[in-house]
Amino acid sequence: MYEFIANVVLASLFGLTMIDVLLVFSNANPLTVKRQVMNRLNLGDDNPVHLTVTNNTGQPIDFSLIEGYPVEMQDRSTVMSGIIGANSSKVFDYDFVPKKRGEYEFNDAFIIIRSMFSLASRRVDIPLKETVHVYPSVLQMKKYELLVFQQQKTSIGIKKIRRLGNNSEFEQIKNYVQGDELKTINWKATSRRNELMVNQYQEEKSQNMYCIIDKSRNMQMEFEGLSMLDYSINSTLVFSNIALKKGDKAGLITYSDKIGTMLAAERSGGQMRRIHEALYNQRTQYKEGNYELLYQSIRRTVKTRSLLVLFTNFETEFSMRRAIPMLRRLNQKHVLVVVFFENSELQELAFQPATNLQEVYQATVAERMISVKAKIAQELRQNGIQTVLTLPDELSINTINKYLELKAKGAI
C-alpha cells in the first residue's frame, strides 16, 4: 500500500517537473529586457537607469534579473526579482553615480526564470552591453544657472550683491518687484503710473573670464570619492555658463609642469560646447605645477585685462610662498582669484568630541592643519590677491558669489 502511494507521488512529481520544464523552455525568448540610460552621464550626480522587463508569453513568470552594472559600481549582490503577468511589463529603476570622467561599460544582463512550482529554472542571457561617457555635470550647470538668474537668490546661497561704482548703464524703467534696491526707484515714473517703478541697469559686458585649472599632483586628493580636479572641472563648467549668460567671454587654461589646454575667451554660440569637450579630456598629472610657465603663457596670450579664476590647492605655507611671486605678477595686470580647498574630513576630526587620548591627538593635528589653510588665505589677501577658501561641496556657489561681487564692485 505504502509502495503504491510512494509510486503515485513520485510519478506526480515527475509529471509536474516535466510540465514545469516544458513551460520554462517552450519559448525561446520568454522575457526581453530593455535598458534606458543616457549616453552622456553627469559626473558626481545621480544618473537614472531604467530597466523594462517584458513578458512575451501568455502565462505569469517568476524571475530574477541580474543587471550588468559597470565594474566601478562594485555591485554584485543586487537582484531585481518579481512575478510578471502575461504579456505585460515591469520597470526597475536605479541611480548610477560616477566618480570619474571617461568611458564606462554596462555589461550584458541575465535572467533566471523559475517555473510555476519552482521545480525547474532556466538562465537567459540578455545582450545589453553598451558604453556611456561621463562628462562634467550639466545638471549642476543648469541648477546654478537657475539659482543665479531667478529673483529670490539669497535664500538658497547665491548672495545678492549691492552694485557699486559706475560699471553699469541705464537699460529701462520697469515695475518694482521684491528684491529690487530701493535707491533705484524712479519717483517721477512712479507718480505718473501711480505704482512703484524702478530704473533697471545692465552690467558692463564682454569682459574676459578665464578659468585656470591646476592639474598637478596636489589636485589628486579625493573628497567623497571625487578628486579636487573633478570638483574644479564641474565648477568651471558652472562658472563659464554663468559668465556667458551674463554677456561675458569665457575661456579655459589648464596646466601642471606643462601648459595643457588654452582656449581663448569668446562669447560665440559654440564656446560652451568647446569648454565642455575640453574639460572632459583633462587628467591629473604626477608633477608639481609650474607657475612661472603659467605666467609666461598668460602674458603672451591674454593681452587684455581679464578675470583669472585659478583652481588650485595649497597644503603648506611653503608651497604657497613658492607660487606667490608669479601670482602677484598675474594680479598686477589682471584680476586674479585663487580658489583652493578646505579639508572637510579634517573639520570632522577637529570638531568631533574626543573620548580618548588618540582622538585628542587627532583633533589637535586636524586643528593645526586647518589653521595652516587659514594662514595661507590670509597671506594671499595681504598680497592683494582675491582668495576663496572653500569646502569642496561649496566650491561652485562660493566661486559664483566671488564673481558676482567683483562684477558689482566694478573690479573687472
Of residues 159 and 235, more confidently modeled: 235
pLDDT 10s digits, 83-111: 888 889 999 999 999 999 999 999 999 88
CATH number for the segment(s) 27-135: 2.60.40.10
Contact by Cβ (8 Å): 408, 400 = no
pLDDT digits (tens, 9 = 90+) for 311-359: 999 988 999 999 999 999 999 999 999 999 987 766 666 667 777 777 6
Which tens digit of pLDDT belongs to each residue from 200-256? Answer: 665 556 789 999 999 998 899 888 889 999 999 999 999 999 999 989 999 999 999
pLDDT of 152 > 50? The answer is no
In the predicted model, is pLDDT for residue 167 greater than 70?
Answer: no
Find out whether 113 and 63 touch, Cβ atoms under 8 Å: yes
Residue spans per domain, the chain: 27-135, 138-167+204-409, 169-202
pLDDT of res. 112? 83
According to the model, what pLDDT value does residue 162 have? 46
- What mean pLDDT is reported for the chain? 83
Mean pLDDT, residues 299-310: 94
- Sign of the C-alpha dihedral computed for residues 255, 158, 207 and 239 taken in this order: positive
- The stretch 161-184 carries a mean pLDDT of 61
Q: Check residue 155 and give its pLDDT.
A: 47
User: Would you list the DSSP string of 290-350?
Assistant: -HHHHHHHHHHH--S-EEEEEE---SSHHHHHHHHHHHHHHHHHSEEEEEEE--HHHHHHH
Residue 60's pLDDT band, with cuts at 50, 70 and 90, is confident
How confident is residue 75, by pLDDT bands cut at 50, 70 and 90? confident
| Residue 297, C-alpha cell as written in the block | 603663457
Arithmetic mean of pLDDT, 164-192:
68
Instruction: Report the pLDDT averaged over residues 359-384.
Output: 82
- Round to whole Å and give the CA distance between 84 and 27: 16
- pLDDT band, residue 366 (cuts 50/70/90): low
Enumerate residues 6+ apart whose C-beta is below 8 A from 279: 101, 135, 136, 233, 236, 237, 252
At 179 the three-state DSSP class reads coil
Is residue 46 a contact partner of residue 16, using CB atoms and an 8 Å limit? no
22: Cβ–Cβ under 8 A, 6 or more apart, which residues? none
- Quick check: 163 pLDDT over 50? no
What was the pLDDT predicted at 174? 76
Instruction: Quote the CA–CA distance of 142 and 193 in Å, as a whole number.
Output: 37
**Superfamily classification of domain 138-167+204-409:** von Willebrand factor, type A domain (3.40.50.410)
Q: What is the pLDDT of residue 258?
A: 93
**What CA–CA distances, in Å, run from 47 to 131, 374, 391?**
15, 36, 24
